[in-house]
Amino acid sequence: MDDSAAAGSGNFNPYGGKTVEECEDMIRKSLRTPTVKFLKENLEKAGCVIGENFIKAIKCDKAISGGYVRGKGIIVCSNHMNLQDEVNQVVIHELIHAYDDCRAANLDWTNCAHHACSEIRAGHLSGDCHYKRELLRGFMKLRGHEQECVRRRVMLSMAANPYCSQTASKEAMDAVWDVCYNDTKPFDRAP
């Protein structure tokens, strides 16, 4: 994720998506959803307080929907958002990364296995791979779609990690899959 992306102002957005201001309104709405409230409460229970500006909208140069950076918080890429549901998904996915970062004292984002584990959890627990979302993306598989989707999306996220080659990412994902896929904390079970 590129922290240097500048947030523009104004209402015109020539690239599609939403303006930063529109996206900030959508983030405020997502903060009132039950899953986001639950994750924020559990972050605080784990000892990580989320400040006022922990989640912010920016205009992104890269083709990503958002990201989490330790010590800085979560960004949502306004120019890649069109629907409230998309903003909610990004916020939930990135809050799971923040939760993992908070609860694991030694989480190292340059370690391929650590990164893969958090991506597996975020993909599985956020609803990123819900059947309806997969249909909208053009993936029509009836059986096993969720795990296949999580694997695909883990590899996409891992591709942005300069410390992990595609081979190292796949090996790390396979090595930690069972433990991380079945770790549903802070949820009792996968939502």
pTM: 0.86
Q: pLDDT tens for residues 78-117?
A: 999 999 999 999 999 999 999 999 998 789 999 999 999 9
190 SS3 class: coil
Within this chain, do residues 78 and 123 fall inside the same structural domain, yes or no?
Answer: no
119 in any annotated domain: yes
86 is catalytic: no
In what helix (H) or strand (E) does residue 67 lie, and over which residues does it extend? strand 66-69
Q: Nearest Cα to 177, choosing from 94, 130, 99, 116? A: 116
Which pLDDT band holds residue 145 (cuts at 50, 70, 90)? confident
Q: In what order do the strands lie in the sheet with 73-77?
A: 55-58, 73-77, 66-69
State the catalytic residue, choosing from 94, 119, 134, 146.
94
Residue 81: which domain range? Answer: 18-86+98-103
Q: In total, how many domains does the chain have?
A: 2
Q: How many CB atoms lie within 10 A of CB 56?
A: 18
120 in any annotated domain: yes
Which pLDDT band holds residue 16 (cuts at 50, 70, 90)? confident
Within this chain, do residues 112 and 78 fall inside the same structural domain, yes or no?
Answer: no
69 SS3 class: strand
Q: How many CB atoms lie within 10 A of CB 116?
A: 27
How far, in Å, CA of 75 to CA of 131, rounded?
A: 26
